[in-house]
Structure 1
Amino acid sequence: MKFSTLVKIALLTFLVSNQITAQQVYKEKFAHTFSIVARDKVTGEMAVAVQSHWFSVGSIVSWGQSGVGVVATQSFVNPAYGPDGLKLISEGKTAKEALEQLVAQDEGKDFRQVAFLDTQGNVSAFTGEKCVASAHHIIGDNYSVQANMMLNDNVVPAMAKAFENYKNLPLADRVVKVLLAAQEAGGDIRGKQSAALVVVGAKPVKNSWEDKKINLRVDDHATPLVELQRLLEVHKAYEFMNKGDLAVEVGDMKNALKEYGAAEKLFPNNLEMKYWKAIALANNKKLDEALPIFKYIFEKDSNWKELTKRLPKSGLLSISKEELEKVIKL
């Protein structure tokens, strides 16, 4: 029988002995974990990041909305703290007011651990007295770190120290460092399985699909934080790629080349990034520089050669027929 199952049975027995029904608390998902909610005082961006020894922790613990705030809801998770908390904050309540209202209404509050942060940097956190030890939280300047069912009492202080120590990093990198510090200090007593990172902006967005600036999840992995860190680097690279694509759309091939080149530096072995850099070079009348790159790519995968034949019709490759033939013959 898995350790987590044994803990469930013990906690369920404890709930019944304390005259709290299983329907009130046990029906909620079991996500003991460590997390951070934080705000960058310069950019106004807000982040929530989490790791747990539980499958797909990002699907229930981490919540955020641009121009509103971020929420981490964990332990015996009441997911309603996420959307309900953000709604209250969007209606004008501070993080503290919103959290206090929801905790007061929650019959299972003794088993909850929750943290709210709003656009003004107001932070509030709550750790129920019946959360599994080691469980506590620390509120600091524009952040809160919280954990339950940790191996020891060193985890949460290590998280706070890491957030203070990495002030010069972008917010996403900074909160990942916090999670890594938590794991190094001992982490979840059960081990590790999943992780997530959400970053939202300081101001509301017009379109819902623009709301999450970063939205990464590692649902099941032997080393979820290593994978989360890798995905964050991939995200950065593809942000450069996206900017390059936008530059192509408006005919700014010089800027496209710059953005594609920046992406390739992050992932030099990625054929996609090499390819669009070569396209940008060709479009900037630097075909001689592009040819060896095309040759390398075509030797790795001939499908890229077939794609190249199709690009002129779409306006993505603006070279002469003679130049195109030179590329295709590689």
Structure 2
Amino acid sequence: MKNFFLFLFFTGMSAPFFSQNPAISGDAFAHTYSIVARDSITGEMAVGVQSHWFSVGSLVSWGKSGVGVVATQSFVNPAYGPRGLELMENGKSASAALNELVSKDEGKEYRQVAFLDNKGNSAAFTGENCVESAMHHAAENFSVQANMMLNDNVIPAMKKAFNDHKTLPLAERVVEVLKAAEAAGGDIRGKQSAALIVVGPEKVENSWEDKKIDLRVDDHAQPLEELERLLKVARAYEFMNKGDVAMEEENVEDALLYYGKAEELFPANLEMRYWKAIALANSGRIEEALPVFREIFAEDDNWREMTTRLPASGLLNVSKEDLNRIVKKP
């Protein structure tokens, strides 16, 4: 029976929500600490998690724009994710949805689960058989939960961090909460993986638009440091995307502004510097663009060849003379 459930799990197939005893025979371990949260101003919702377990984000964090978010951990029953979101989408509150699923779960005493709906209602459950230190704190717009922690200080530290960082964007605020948990003791086994998702306040038409941020660190010596770095990169690329849109709209000044902000966040990235140079050239500021191009080509000459291909696509609008000046080798 155990091998059968393990087969179901590792092949991605679904076992029944109710299982025969032993109720957790095929469930993955994801002993961890996490937060589900909502920004009361923007309406964005997030899940942040860190664990000493490989690829924790593939199991614990679930979310859907305009609906809610779910964290399911300890001895993970992944069904809490999609089924909880379905219940909340159909109008049940976080508490009602969680209670319904917990009442049907024979392995509930091994579970730790948190739901948060799009109105900011949160609910959490910690089974009696979760490994100590295990507890949760559910409040308006957030819930923090942890099991297998080094001590009982983790949850109070997470709660304090969430309340102390109200001015930060939701994603950055969630990272601060995770960092506070780690500083307070964190997982008794150490650290290995982390994840962060953010979904929007309104339902979206296309599934690929659902997650505004979707970051995973599956295996790393310092997963929270890496998660924080990736979030910074993600923010830089948000500016890059805005710059690209501005370029499409032939709004070169806005493109320059956005590309410049991206470069400030991620100055070592050649592509961010490159598209800023392209925007400068397109605005007729060739003399400003030339030294930027030269620095980039010196680091990677493929960008020189790339530049020769852009005029045909309408992405670089300069005279042949200026193009030759840009791509000329020293």
The residue identity in structure 2 corresponding to 1:37 is V
Answer yes or no: is 1:123 the counterpart of 2:122: yes
The residue that corresponds to 1:6 in the other structure is: none
How far 1:75 moved relative to its partner? 0.3
How many angstroms apart in 2 are the aligned matches of 1:21 and 1:84? 20
The residue that corresponds to 1:246 in the other structure is: 245
How many angstroms apart in 2 are the aligned matches of 1:173 and 1:313? 40
Q: Which 4+ stretches in 1 moved above 2 angstroms?
A: 20-23
The residue identity in structure 1 corresponding to 2:311 is P
Q: TM-score, normalised by structure 2?
A: 0.93
* Partner-residue secondary structure (3-state), 2:125: strand
The residue that corresponds to 1:178 in the other structure is: 177
The residue that corresponds to 1:103 in the other structure is: 102
How many angstroms apart in 2 are the aligned matches of 1:244 and 1:292? 21
How far does the alpha carbon of each residue in 1:87-140 deviate from its partner, in whole angstroms, 9 at most, with x for none?
000000000000000000000000000000000001000000110000000112
The residue that corresponds to 1:73 in the other structure is: 72
* Partner-residue secondary structure (3-state), 1:138: strand
Identity across the alignment (%): 67
Alignment of 1:1-330 (within 5 A): 23-330=22-329
Question: How much is the aligned-residue C-alpha RMSD, in angstroms?
Answer: 1.0
* Partner-residue secondary structure (3-state), 1:38: strand
How far does the alpha carbon of each residue in 1:1-57 deviate from its partner, in whole angstroms, 9 at most, with x for none?
xxxxxxxxxxxxxxxxxxx96652121111000000000000000000000000000
How many angstroms apart in 2 are the aligned matches of 1:88 and 1:78? 16
How far does the alpha carbon of each residue in 1:258-304 deviate from its partner, in whole angstroms, 9 at most, with x for none?
11111001111211111000000000111110000001111111100
The residue identity in structure 2 corresponding to 1:28 is D
Does the aligned pair in 1 maintain the 2:121–2:139 contact within 8 Å?
no
Unaligned runs of 5+ in 2: 1-18
How far 1:250 moved relative to its partner? 2.0
How many angstroms apart in 1 are the aligned matches of 2:327 and 2:222? 43
The residue that corresponds to 1:16 in the other structure is: none
* Partner-residue secondary structure (3-state), 2:136: strand
* Partner-residue secondary structure (3-state), 1:199: strand
The residue identity in structure 2 corresponding to 1:210 is E
Does the aligned pair in 2 maintain the 1:26–1:76 contact within 8 Å?
no
Unaligned runs of 5+ in 1: 1-19
Q: TM-score, normalised by structure 1?
A: 0.93
For these two proteins, the number of residue pairs brought into alignment is 311
